[in-house]
Homo-oligomer: A and B are copies of this chain.
């Protein structure tokens, strides 16, 4: 399977696939006589795993660790739990801050119901005042 086919099969960009290979997440593919990469089913499986973990917004370094666990079935899975827990914590912290942010932005947006000049803009006024309150 050439790189374009692997892209079609997984939805991962060609350049990203090369990047993952360079970063050591994917094993280097065998090469055809013309220098083209030749991927096999194991690559497909591994890239899908990587892509799925990325969809969970896990950092590449941690995905590498997960892949190590896949490669070592005798390893203790406490560390897998820890990685997922850490990611879950990051996501929850992030969620809270995004909620607060949405609230702030909504309140800010409500300061200006009609179009008029910047001088009269409740949004700008609020931003300036808030900045002064913090200065």
| A residues neighboring B (CB under 8 Å) | 9-10, 44-45, 48-49, 51-53, 56-57, 66, 69-70, 72-78, 80-81, 84-85, 87-88, 91-92, 94-95, 98-99, 101-102, 104-106, 108-109, 112, 115-121, 123-124, 127-128, 130-132, 134-135
- Within 8 Å CB of A56, what residues of B? 101, 104-105, 108
- In the complex this chain forms, how many copies of it are found? 2
Pair B77/A112 contact, Cβ less than 8 Å: yes
- Within 8 Å CB of A105, what residues of B? 56, 84, 87-88, 91
A44 to B51 CA separation, bound complex (whole angstroms) = 44
Cross-chain contact of A102 among B9, B81, B92 (Cβ < 8 A): B92
